[in-house]
A and B are shown apart, each in its own frame.
Chain A
Amino acid sequence: MKIEKRQVEGQPLTVIVEYPEWNNSVQSLIGKIEKMDLSFVGKSEDRAVSIGISEIYYIENVERKLFLYTKDEVFRLDGTMPDIESRIFDTGLVRISRTCIMNTDKLREIKQIRNSHLEAVLDNDEKLIVSRKYLPDIKKVFRKEGV
């Protein structure tokens, strides 16, 4: 596979896939690229904003309301945790507790803190509680990336 990169100013990020024939590898590659382009519509006061997956730090369910956190902003999301989960399959977003979905791309480290609780430290120094039950799911994301 040949990879070419070039900077084109004033254009959105564009990926062109050229293939000699359509097969499963091409389909899988395009699927992965499309997943990277996944976005959510978040609401903040009166405005609705499209938030790309790379901007998301975590999504939290607080009293049946969903909140999406970016580096320094919070948005309200419509839908439920199962809705979100059905969209994030095969991405870097993973459930880490009953009420929280984290972006593993923003993860700096996981620590075992007092009383064997687990804590995820994100790039922006935010700390999230990780349920031990979901630790294998986080590991699976990193294992996939390592392949």
Chain B
Amino acid sequence: MKRIFRDTCILFALAVLSVFAMSIIWVGMTDEIKLVLQLFILSFVIAFANYFLDEYTSLPMIGSYIVKYIAATVVVMLFGFIVGWFYRSNFWMAFIYVGIVLVMAYFIDAFKTKRDIDYINSRIRSKQK
């Protein structure tokens, strides 16, 4: 199931990229295409920041997510102001958007970590038998 979901995401990203690439050639840059490209750049910046946080910090899981929450919110806010997503009156929306994504990511990560540990320990036990 996990593999199907991962392949779906990859296929979806490729479909979006090919459809939008064709649209840029035929129609030019529309607002929708611009938004998707902006989201792509934003995701890249956040993924880049997360990589460095994972590599160079050794915080507890919750602490690591709090730091990531702050970093991602700052990036989203700055990026949002630059590309015109937010105005002074609604910049707080960044906290909500980032918060929702990170809360989901936290629970998925916690579940996955526990499952991986159980798998590794069960393999060690079966090797020892």
Contact surface of A with B, Cβ cutoff 8 Å: 97-98, 107-112, 114-118, 129, 131-133, 135-136, 138-139, 142, 145-146
Judge whether B100 is part of the interface by a CB distance below 8 angstroms: no
- CB 8 Å contact bits of B48-70 with A (1 = contact, 0 = none): 00000011101011110000000
- CB 8 Å contact bits of B106-129 with A (1 = contact, 0 = none): 000110011011011101100100
Most B Cβ at <10 Å: residue of A107, A116, A138: A116
| Chain B residues with CB below 8 A from A133, complex form | 54-55
Contact surface of B with A, Cβ cutoff 8 Å: 54-56, 58, 60-63, 109-110, 113-114, 116-117, 119-121, 123-124, 127
Known contacts A98-B56, A108-B124; is-contact A132 B61 (Cβ 8 Å): yes
Secondary structure call for the B interface: helix
Among B55, B56, B61, B121, the residue within 8 A (CB) of A110 is B121
CB–CB A139/B124 < 8 A: no
Among B54, B62, B117, B119, the residue within 8 A (CB) of A118 is B117
- State A2–B109 Cα separation when bound (angstroms): 44
